[in-house]
Chain A
């Protein structure tokens, strides 16, 4: 199915010379963007390149200081999200900005309810029927009266897309839609995107995943430091060139797993879990990680990876099995118990579970170490020293260590979280999706530091939905399926083998 040459396809949305300044920061300058009907256009760039600002300008959340936006040749200037919607621009945000307490049907029709003639009351029957038919267009069958919050993120995203369809969008903007999805759900999403493309919709797809860009998009626009580096046809831009455009330089090829670096098989066990389980959450699991080893933990969303991490870290109490840390049998009732024994957990949701946005970089970094130490405050000089060390080691880009962490980009926030745990010099570091939603360069800096520490003796449990990352970095890979351990694979296994074990063949 070769699509028609893109030059022939009509431009639906044309942005010219968009510029936006926030106080002293110039977020965007002179950016052009052309979205064509029936085309998937990827928007790429590092954190802080201006992608989210551009989206905000297109969707009416912010107004541009300079430049114009045209829809079907007509100049539009949406000043609220509602206006952008009415013009025909539908958006699906990374955090699926729908209301989880409202029903699916309501989320689809909020703000545009069909009404009965009497008293202008909402016609709920029409709402429900309309909701079902909208979802059917995406081949989805849901209980439209159930609260949206009872569905997983992947479904909520579909509902958000259905809502965009419902408002008769001509343009669909997808902002990092795959960050919370597993491989099966990503395939579903791409099927829907392809379907929408067939219908002539202009789609803007913002993502960090290079392979997804090449799987589904037709054109790519690259932003760097608020400016447009260029617009390319996918076929004309190989991955290395794309990364070069985004970062402005060539990234060294990833070293990855080095067989000589793997720890000796008789290295002492950092952690030894036997039959660890919790009724309703996890079937009994055996897991061992040696000093200096990086053990990968793969599996689909809901397979029990995070549940296992929570049990290992003392967030949940294990009902069955034993846990030995450094050879000693322990019962963890609180994360503090785990931290004292040299465990560390970098959680998946850095915004809600990880960083304290209002505290400074320094305070975030020393928080866990201080908590382990107790009431006696660490001297300020030592805090500064530790913070600066880690900022340098991980390449955290911040004005200074007193900057509130909330002002940093996603990638730098992730690094601060990692810094917090590295400072405690843990015996075992559990990383739950550490590279999710951060750009290529940041990913590398992060993993390089983790690998260096592993080489120095730190054990690592690396949870990731990206099998590519697991095979690239880990000495061994354990696979979870349906809340039990499906098996283990040695380092150097192919992605195909890992995927096969995940799928259960």
Chain B
């Protein structure tokens, strides 16, 4: 057999258990920290460890979850999308405007909103890839544009009382034992599952990872880099539009100032979930965990009830810091040989 004997071939004898593989360690760390925080909450606050509390994490953060899945793909490819919050807001405004003020049937309006979001994302993707513009600036300008157009459509908030939408918004799926999930939360779970499948088992997903690892290598390997990058941003736009639909159901209104700062929450969720900002490494399931962690932080603060609003911000910042430092600590130990 071969005479070249690096350390790694000895690993060939027994495949490393999945929990010790480099990419999965941050995921494990996130999970452990999530459990630890949940446990701390259970100890500190009465009534914290009930199933509905955790299901509410999903219900209240469904839109963030959907946006974060799209963001995960963009970050995996080595890019970034700052326009998602604005696209969410735009989608809520467009949906509300079409349904409330122009009497469109809800499903048709939703279909249009999704198409516009996807097209918007694709447009940004073309600018980024074709003209080699920086993703940060292009999506930042996209953010301004989306919010700007949303404000142009309607400066004020549009309340939704269309019966079908209202009914779907209030629909709760019973899960037994008094727990329930909203439609939005189900959509979020479906998006996570689809995203995980796409990332793990489709050539599009694997190409995204390849581009994040080394765009030049991916190109030389013959992978369709340009088309994939455009598709990634289109996917992010789609997710943002879908999240906008879910958000509309959640708030039952369309408003251009909705979801301010959502993009940073999404980035935080993705990073906490173990995806590296430089691209090439990370899991969609990690992003779900990241969203849950952020939601848990908020829930802890709400349960505490005593923290004034400004302390909330400080605590969130401190917890973010602790998370990122711990991640770095564990990462350093797993640097490749």
Contact surface of A with B, Cβ cutoff 8 Å = 59, 61, 80-86, 91, 93, 97-102, 106-107, 110-111, 113, 119-122, 124, 138-143, 145-147, 149-152, 154-155, 158, 163, 184-185, 187-188, 302
Q: Check A93 against B336 for contact (C-beta < 8 Å).
A: no
Known: A106-B206, A110-B210. A143 touches B8 (CB 8 A): yes
Contact A122 B206 (CB under 8 A): yes
Binary flags per residue of B187-214, CB closer than 8 Å to A gives 1, else 0? 0000000000100011100110110111
Question: Cβ of A110 and Cβ of B207 under 8 Å apart?
Answer: yes
Are A155 and B201 within 8 A (Cβ)? no
Given the interface contacts A82-B222, A110-B221, A188-B4, does A99 sit within 8 Å of B9 by beta carbon?
no
Q: Is the CB of A99 within 8 A of B210?
A: yes
B176 at the interface (CB under 8 A from A): no
Q: Are B222's CB and A85's CB within 8 A?
A: yes
Chain A nearest CB: distance from B129 CB in Å?
15
Q: For A86, what are the chain B residues with a Cβ–Cβ distance below 8 Å?
A: 222
Q: Are B222 and A122 in contact (CB under 8 A)?
A: no
Residue pair A100, B4 in contact (C-beta under 8 Å): no
Inter-subunit contact A143/B12 (CB<8 Å) = yes
* Contact A142-B8, Cβ < 8 Å, known A99-B213, A113-B203, A188-B2: yes
**A83 proximity list for chain B (CB < 8 A):** 222
Name the A residues within 8 Å of B6 (CB-CB): 151-152, 154-155, 302
B201 interface neighbour in A84, A91, A98, A121, Cβ under 8 Å:
A121
Task: Give 13 new A-B contacts, CB below 8 A, not counting A102-B206, A184-B3.
Answer: A81-B222, A97-B214, A97-B217, A98-B214, A99-B280, A101-B214, A101-B281, A121-B197, A139-B2, A143-B11, A143-B16, A151-B6, A158-B4
Query: Are A185 and B4 in contact (CB-based, < 8 A)?
Result: yes
Closest chain B CB from A312 CB (angstroms): 23
> Please, could you name 5 A-B residue pairs with CB atoms under 8 Å apart, sorted by A?
A81-B221, A98-B221, A111-B222, A143-B11, A147-B23
Q: Determine the chain A residues whose CB is within 8 A of the CB of B207 once the complex forms.
A: 110-111
Cross-chain contact A141 with B9 (CB below 8 angstroms): yes
Q: Is the CB of A143 within 8 A of B15?
A: yes
Q: In the assembled complex, which residues on chain A have CB atoms less than 8 Å from the CB atom of B216?
A: 97
Interface contact A188-B209, CB-CB below 8 Å: no
Flag whether B252 is at the interface (Cβ < 8 A).
no
**Does B337 have its Cβ within 8 Å of any Cβ on chain A?**
yes
Q: Once the chains are docked, how many angstroms separate the CA of A472 from the CA of B206? A: 49
Closest to A185 in B: B4
| Minimal beta-carbon separation of B207 from chain A (angstroms) | 7
User: A-facing mask of B1-21, CB < 8 A → 1, else 0?
Assistant: 111101011011001100001
What is the minimal beta-carbon distance from B5 to any residue of chain A, in angstroms?
Answer: 9
Query: Smallest CB–CB gap between A273 and chain B, Å?
Result: 26
Does any Cβ of A come within 8 Å of B126's Cβ? Answer: no
User: Are A101 and B212 touching (Cβ within 8 A)?
Assistant: yes
- Tell me, in angstroms, the Cα distance from A160 to B175 when the chains sit together: 51
- In the complex, whether B220 has a CB less than 8 A from a CB of chain A is yes
Quote the shortest CB–CB distance from B50 to chain A (angstroms): 37
B183 lies within 8 A of chain A by Cβ: no
Known pairs A99-B210, A141-B1, A188-B2; A122 contacts B8 (CB<8 A):
no
Q: Are B22 and A147 in contact (CB under 8 A)?
A: yes
In angstroms, Cα B2 to Cα A158, docked, is 11
Task: With both chains docked as a complex, state the minimum distance between the C-beta of B19 and any C-beta of chain A, in angstroms.
Answer: 14
Given contacts A122-B203, A143-B16, contact A151 B8 (CB under 8 A): yes
CA–CA, A185 to B4, complex, Å? 6
The docked-state distance in angstroms from the alpha carbon of A59 to that of B220 is: 9
Pick the residue among A81, A91, A150 that contacts B337 (CB under 8 A).
A150
- Residues of B near A120 (CB, < 8 A) are 202
Could you tell me if A113 and B8 are in contact, using CB atoms closer than 8 angstroms?
no
Contacts of B27 in A (CB 8 A): none
Q: Is the CB of B209 within 8 A of A99?
A: yes
Q: How far is the CA of A93 from the CA of B23 in the complex (A)?
A: 27
A152 to B336, alpha carbons, bound, how many Å? Answer: 11
Please name the residue on chain B nearest to A142 by beta carbon: B12
Contact A101 B222, beta carbon cutoff 8 Å: no
Q: Identify the interface centre among B1, B12, B220: most chain A CB within 10 Å of its CB.
A: B220
Q: Does B29 contact A (CB under 8 A)?
A: no
Chain B residues near A119 (CB-CB < 8 A): 197
Which 3 pairs, one residue from A and one from B, show the smallest C-beta to C-beta distance? Answer: A82-B222, A101-B213, A99-B213
Q: In the docked arrangement, what's the CA distance between A84 and B219, Å?
A: 12
Q: For the complex, what is the distance from the CA of A184 to the CA of B197, rounded to whole Å?
A: 42
Within 8 A of A (CB), among B90-107: none
Q: Which of B11, B218, B336 contacts A149 (CB 8 A)?
A: B336
B223 within 8 A of A: yes
Q: How long is the Cα–Cα vector from A184 to B4 in the complex, in angstroms?
A: 7
* Distance of A430 from chain B, by nearest CB (Å): 25
B201 touches A122 (CB 8 A): yes
Task: Given A111-B221, A122-B202, A146-B16, answer yes or no on A102-B4 (Cβ-Cβ < 8 Å).
Answer: no
Q: Pick from A93, A111, A188: contact of B223, CB below 8 A.
A: A111
Nearest B residue to A144 via CB reads B12
**C-alpha gap A43/B234 in the complex (Å):** 44
Q: Are A93 and B220 in contact (CB under 8 A)?
A: yes
In-complex Cβ contact of A155 among B8, B23, B214, B337 (8 A): B8
Residues of B within 8 A of A102 (CB): 206, 209-210, 213
Chain B residues within an 8 Å CB radius of A99:
209-210, 213-214, 217-218, 221, 280
Residue of B nearest to A110 (CB): B221
In the complex, chain B residues whose CB is within 8 Å of the CB of A110: 206-207, 210, 218, 221, 223
Q: Which of B9-44 contact A (CB under 8 A)?
A: 9, 11-12, 15-16, 21-23
A101 touching B209 in the complex, CB below 8 Å, given contacts A141-B9, A146-B16? yes
Q: Name the distance in Å between A145's Cβ and chain B's nearest Cβ.
A: 6
Q: Which residues of B contact A150 (CB under 8 A)?
A: 8, 22, 336-337
Q: Across the two chains, which residue of chain A brings its CB closest to B3? A: A188
Residues of chain A contacted by B11 (CB below 8 angstroms): 143, 146
A141–B12 CB distance below 8 A: yes
The smallest beta-carbon distance between B98 and chain A, in angstroms, is 33
Residue of A nearest to B211 (CB): A99
A residues near B214, Cβ cutoff 8 Å: 97-101
Contact of B217 among A98, A122, A141, A158 (CB under 8 A): A98
Residues of B within 8 A of A184 (CB): 3-4
Who on chain B is nearest to A91 by CB? Answer: B220
Question: Is the Cβ of A147 less than 8 Å from the Cβ of B336?
Answer: yes
B213 neighbours in A (Cβ, 8 Å)? 99-102
**B2 & A140 in contact (Cβ 8 Å cutoff):** yes
Docked pose: A84 CA to B16 CA in angstroms? 36
A86 to B, closest residue via Cβ? B222
Expressed in whole angstroms, the Cα–Cα distance for A110 and B206 within the complex equals 8
Task: Name the A residues within 8 Å of B210 (CB-CB).
Answer: 99, 102, 106, 110
Instruction: Determine the chain A residues whose CB is within 8 A of the CB of B22 once the complex forms.
Output: 147, 150
- Nearest-CB distance from B200 to chain A (Å)? 8
Rounded to whole angstroms, the CA-CA distance of A111 and B23 in the bound complex is 22
Most chain A CB atoms below 10 A, which of B15, B16, B214, B216: B214
Residues on A with C-beta less than 8 A from B8 are: 142-143, 146, 150-151, 155
Q: In the bound complex, how far is the Cα of B219 from the Cα of A83, in angstroms? A: 12
Interface 1/0 per residue, B283-306 and A, CB below 8 Å: 000000000000000000000000
Chain A nearest CB: distance from B23 CB in Å? 8
* B283 vs chain A, min Cβ distance (A): 13
